[in-house]
Amino acid sequence: MFQTKERFLQSWDFEAAQTQKVLNNLTDDSLKQQITPDNWDLGRLAWHTVSAIKIITSQSDLTFEAPAKDFPVPNSATYIAESYQQASAAFVEAIKTQWSDERFNDVIDFFGQKMTNGTLLLFLLQHQTHHRGQMTVLMRQAGLNVPGLYGPSKEEWALIGMEAPQM
């Protein structure tokens, strides 16, 4: 759990930048990529990642403008990526201006579960990371390049002058 704005914002800045890299690599055609018809497609996962910022934090007293519904899914990858950037920026500004460090210890009801605001923010980060991983698998299936997130991706090894690990 997070206990200070500074620590949370450091983590959010890094993780949001990683999510933005993934979203920026999507194409309109790739949004329909799916594993099965019974699972969310890439577009739905991407849009859910955008709207989850507002949906999850709506259980706190933070107020900011961001999409709050994850359906219907926009059919523009650019729109989804830009919406994430805007939602993330509005969320960060709300944290900076509306909460003190002490507010991270406030206990809230998160869909029937008691937790601190700091734990809620950790959940939000983990939720985003979870869906980002799902998106990268679907991106590979759609034939897109996947950006390196916690190290070089398959395509990035050559860019740093190294040989990719053997398959």
- Looking up residue 147, the CATH number of its domain turns out to be 1.20.120.450
With respect to residue 59, please indicate whether it lies within any of the assigned structural domains. Answer: yes
CA 23 vs CA 52, 107, 135: distances in Å = 14, 32, 9
Contact 53, 87 (CB under 8 A): yes
In this prediction, residue 157 carries a pLDDT of 84
Burial of 138 (0-12, 13-18, 19+ CB in 10 A): buried
Question: Mean of the pLDDT values across residues 145-165?
Answer: 86
Contact 56, 73 (CB under 8 A): no
| Tally of domains within the chain | 1
Structure tokens at 140: 């590979």
Cα–Cα dist 128/133, whole Å: 9
Question: Mean of the pLDDT values across residues 108-127?
Answer: 96
DSSP string, 110-131: ETTEEEEHHHHHHHHHHHHHHH
With respect to residue 65, please indicate whether it lies within any of the assigned structural domains. Answer: yes
Identify the domain containing residue 36 by its residue range.
5-160
Structure tokens at 42: 């890439």
Structure tokens at 6: 């500074």
Radius of gyration of the chain (CA): 17
Band of pLDDT at residue 148, cut at 50, 70 and 90: very high
Longest alpha-carbon distance in the chain: 51
- Average pLDDT value for the chain: 95
Q: What pTM did the predictor assign?
A: 0.94
With respect to residue 120, please indicate whether it lies within any of the assigned structural domains. Answer: yes
Within 8 A by CB and 6+ apart from 55, the residues are: 68, 70
Question: Mean of the pLDDT values across residues 129-143?
Answer: 97
With respect to residue 166, please indicate whether it lies within any of the assigned structural domains. Answer: no
CB atoms within 10 A of CB 79: 13
**Helices and strands in the chain, H and E counts:** 4, 2
Q: What is the pLDDT of residues 24-39, one digit of tens each?
A: 999 999 999 999 999 9
Q: Is the pLDDT of residue 109 over 90?
A: yes
With respect to residue 165, please indicate whether it lies within any of the assigned structural domains. Answer: no
DSSP 35: S
